[in-house]
Structure formats: structure tokens, C-alpha cells
Chain A
């Protein structure tokens, strides 16, 4: 994983509350055995019409939102299934941070392991972001803050996850280094 320091981008706003992982990537695309190429089916059923063409009114399809890498969602983003295909699809499409007032546990955990930043902000900041789509923002991991509208708000992130993201460290390596402790645990609980 590439180290991440900060992300500067315009926002793209999907204001719906409770956006579930079945919307992010419908289950019929989960018969894949790889992580690649899921971006084309991101929000598939909101993004394409029955004829398979892009729906011009859907936010991700609008020309002004192309290339935006910070997605602002409604409250409780990423609820539902544990599919890691959801962050894989977002990243493959080009989204690198998701902003909401609450982000579902498993989606958040999966995102942190893939370099997609889950950014939880207060209701007032969230409201401003929802009301100002296309705003230029900066998500900074060094200071764990989001800069928007000339203001800076901090967001919570586990120190360990932040360290791994900033240094491009894979968490599996950390676990593997604890093999002796794991062996001792297994011997004590055999």
C-alpha cells in the first residue's frame, strides 16, 4: 500500500442516509475472485439505466464531479454486509476518502485496511459539506483533520491505523511479528 499523507480534492455529495454496501456494489458483482475492476460497478443500480447507459442525473455521472476523490455521504454510511468489495469498488473508481457523521463498523475497518479514509465529522460540518457539493477540501492524516470552508475539524482515527496508512505498513506484518505470543497463547489454552 502506498503511504498516504493527505488528500486534496473537490467533494462529490451523495446525501442519502444509511447508504448500504448493497448499493455501493450489488451482490451480483461479488462472484469475482479478484479485487480489481470493481469500480465500473460502483453504485451500479443508481448509476446506470436498464439499457446499461449512465444516467446523466446521477451525481457520479455529472461531468463536474469526474475526478473528485472525496465522497460525502449521508449519516450511517456503509451499513449492511461485510463485503470488502465496497471499499475496493470505491478505490477502483477513484474515491480515496468517505465523509459522514457515522460510518458502519465493518465498512470502516475494511476501508482502513485498503487506504480509503473514513472521515467522521460533526453534524454542523457535515451539513455544510452536504450543502456545498464540489467544495475544495483537504483531508490530512498528519493532523487527522479535514479542512473545508476555511475551517479545520479533527476526525477520530485509531493511532495504529493512522501509522499504517501514513507509512504504507501492512497490518498483517504486525500480526506475524507476534507469532511467538500466539504460540504461547495456544500452548496455554490447548
Chain B
């Protein structure tokens, strides 16, 4: 009675593990970006090795790229830090030298790697997917085993299309009940992380299960799986179902015609068998869930929007509150906001921008706030513009930018000034994550847009509906 994870693991073992050696695990899809790959390509050059399967690589530029328009590499020199521009140029050279197609500035496909993969139909149920990026867990939303790796392992996959892996443990998170209106997948995953803790998933692959998960759209499932790593999990996954197949059908890199029918037949065998055993289980009823906001310096320090900041005598906890300039016993509601960022691999898809637009339409951003809306990919940008969402953002006084990771990681010049408070739809509120001294509150696109309009942390349910 194997679980979804066990079925995928078993079908990708090239050499089984033993006491002395880890398993050799085959990797179906390798996602690549400019930040975590240069040293891996250097290793291949030093060893005189080719890339074994360039056809199984999907490469793009996302982390250190500017979000103002770039048409040529010469433009890049003007808008970027020299080191960031060099990294982008190096990626172009590496892909060219090793015969990997790069979806770069000239491509209509370019985007944050975890937004681009699914929308191209490259992310398949039952596949093993890796990337030198911890948010690779996003692709688990399709019933894939997808996880982040380091640069040395990027080199291993480039050279052999395989990884040396010990089999992780499994954690089932059962989510019962129906989510209230105006409560989003982001609120759900923040609640889960707050419940099991930022180390609660360490050593485990999470399978999210239950009625509340089945009811989610693919984009919502991606938001949930994306932040599995913030609970320390190796990966997060959701069983594929008709929602998955409907999303994937017809996309450019999805199987087509008879191959599609064959694939769906195979994929239908993937969900965990009834009675599948997990190493650990946790349960949560989502029917009373509220919008969530973080108050501290990791994603597990999170409360419902109407709660007060908790107190704790631990010095590190007090240090986190001091850094965030929040007080135990006081609410987060009403705290003044300087910057709002809507985007990232967590919440930079079309549905996220639509959600934000529900609040921004016909309203104006508070004068104290800088609002940055960064679509997750060129495709998201085109679709949003076709719906006029860019105009909604601009009319509200927000900036509508080019796709990329942008202010989630602040590598491209899009940063939050020191001491300023940002409400962000991204995934990490670590100290300095969005810029040195920046204070980050993680929230859903609805809550972020509400904060932009009011200039303060606001319950989005007061502004919609």
C-alpha cells in the first residue's frame, strides 16, 4: 500500500540504496537559473564532462534580473549591478556551451523558474524534478517529487541526470473542512507552518491531503507546496486529479495526443493507496481559518490577522520582535506599512494578481506606500495585461514591472529600505531578506493589496465582497 511519494521514488531508483551507499535516483526534469549554476558548469569544464541530457534541462534567468524592461545585454549593463550582469552573461554562455536551450530575455517563456515550468507543461505528475532552489517544492502540487538541491548536486545532475539520495521519511498533513471565503492558500500554508514549526518537516516529504486540498485550484496548490521548505520539509506534494490534468492538458511541453491519454492513465495510478502508511501524520481543520500575517523573522512566527502578537521569554524571540519593531500583546492590525510587494514563486501567478486587483480596482494606494507588482513570468504578464490588470495597478498608483524574483530576494536592486516595513506575498521574512534592515510581513495577495490601500495592516475581508 505505497504512498504517492513511495511510488515515485520506487520508479526512479537506478541503483537501490544499501547500508553503505545511498540510492542513485533518476531525475526527469532539471530546472536551472543563473545564481546556483555557474560553479556547477565550471566543474563540468574542469572535468571535461558534457551535460548528459540537455533535453531534460529547463533554463531561465530570474533571480538577479532587473524588473525594468531589458531588451539587449547592453541594456542589462545599464540597469544592473556589474556582478549581476556578469552572472546573467555567464548563464547565457554556459547554456550555449553545453547545448541547453535558455529561455532568456528574448524568450516569450521567461519567468521565475517555478512559475514557468508548470505553465509550459514541463511539470508532470509522477516526475522527479530538481533545481538549485529550495522552492522547487512548488512542483509537488502536480504530484511530482520536486526538491531543492545545492550547486554540487546541480553538477551531479548535469553530468549524470542522477542524484545520490537517502530515502526521506513521509509526513501526511490531513486538511479537513471547507476554507471560508476570502481566506486563501497562502493563509493555509502559513497556518500549517505556524502549527508544525519551521523545523517541523525536516527530513520528511509532506503529502497534503483531504477535502480542503482537493478543492484548491492548481495555482493555489502551488502556493501551498511552494512553502513546504519553510517548514523544513524536503518536498511537499499533492495527489494528481482531474484539476491537475485539466490544468496541464494542451500546454506546450505536456504530452500530446495518444501520449497524453497514456500519460493520464499512468498518472491516475499515482495517488497514495488507501491505507498507505506515513512516518508521521498531522491534522488541521480549515473551516475557521482567517487571513494570516507573520509578526517575526521566520515564517513560523505567524498569527491570524485579528490576534495579538504572542509573548515568549526566549531571547531570540524577543530579538525577533525588536527587529520587527512589534510588541507582544499588541495587534499587527493597524501597523503602518511602507512597501507592498506582490509577486514571487509563491504568489506571482495570474490568480494572485487578479486577487490583488479585486482590492486595488477603483481605489488608490495610500500615499506613504510604494506598491510593486511583479508578474511571475512573461506569460502571466501578457495574460494580466490582456485583462487590463496592469492598468488597475497603475491607476491605483502601483508600479507594474517585468517578471522576476525581484523583491522576494532583493538580488536585482528591488529592495526594501532599512527599517521600512514591507507587506509581501513572498515566502521568507528572515532578517534582511528583502534588503538590509528590511522588516517583512508575509501575507496573501488580498492582505497585501489591502495594506497598500490603507497604508497599514488591514483585514482584507473589510475591503472585498
Interface size on A, residues (CB 8 A): 50
CA distance A106 to B436 in the complex (A): 24
> A33-B86, A171-B164 given as contacts; is B152 within 8 A of A27 (CB)?
no
How many Å from the CB of A39 to the closest CB on chain B?
16
State whether the Cβ of A74 lies closer than 8 Å to any Cβ in chain B. yes
> A26-B432, A27-B409, A45-B431 given as contacts; is B203 within 8 A of A35 (CB)?
no
B202:A23 contact, CB within 8 angstroms: no
B164:A33 contact, CB within 8 angstroms: no
How many Å from the CB of B464 to the closest CB on chain A?
32
Interface string of A20-64 (1 = CB under 8 A from B): 101100111011111100000000010000000000000000000
Chain B residues within 8 Å of A105, by CB:
168, 202-203, 232, 234
Residue of A16, A30, A80 near B134 (CB, 8 A) is A80
Number of A-B residue pairs with CB-CB distance less than 8 Å in the complex they form: 169
Chain A residues within 8 Å of B49, by CB:
176
A178:B15 contact, CB within 8 angstroms: yes
B38:A182 contact, CB within 8 angstroms: no
Chain A residues within 8 Å of B39, by CB:
33-35, 84
B432:A18 contact, CB within 8 angstroms: no
Within 8 A of A (CB), among B314-335: 314-316, 319
B160:A45 contact, CB within 8 angstroms: no
Chain A residues within 8 Å of B315, by CB:
15
Selected A-B contacts with CB under 8 Å, 21 pairs: A15-B315, A18-B300, A18-B316, A27-B433, A28-B410, A33-B42, A80-B229, A81-B148, A82-B36, A82-B133, A83-B35, A83-B150, A84-B151, A106-B150, A109-B150, A171-B152, A171-B164, A172-B156, A172-B159, A172-B160, A175-B156
Residues of B within 8 A of A (CB): 14-15, 19-22, 24, 26, 35-36, 38-39, 42-43, 47, 49, 52, 63-64, 81, 83-84, 86-87, 90, 132-134, 148-153, 155-156, 159-162, 164, 166, 168, 198-199, 202-203, 229, 232, 234, 298, 300, 314-316, 319, 409-411, 428, 430-433, 436-437
Residues of A within 8 A of B (CB): 15-18, 20, 22-23, 26-28, 30-35, 45, 74-76, 79-84, 102, 104-106, 109-110, 113-114, 158-160, 163, 171-172, 174-176, 178-179, 181-182, 185-186, 189
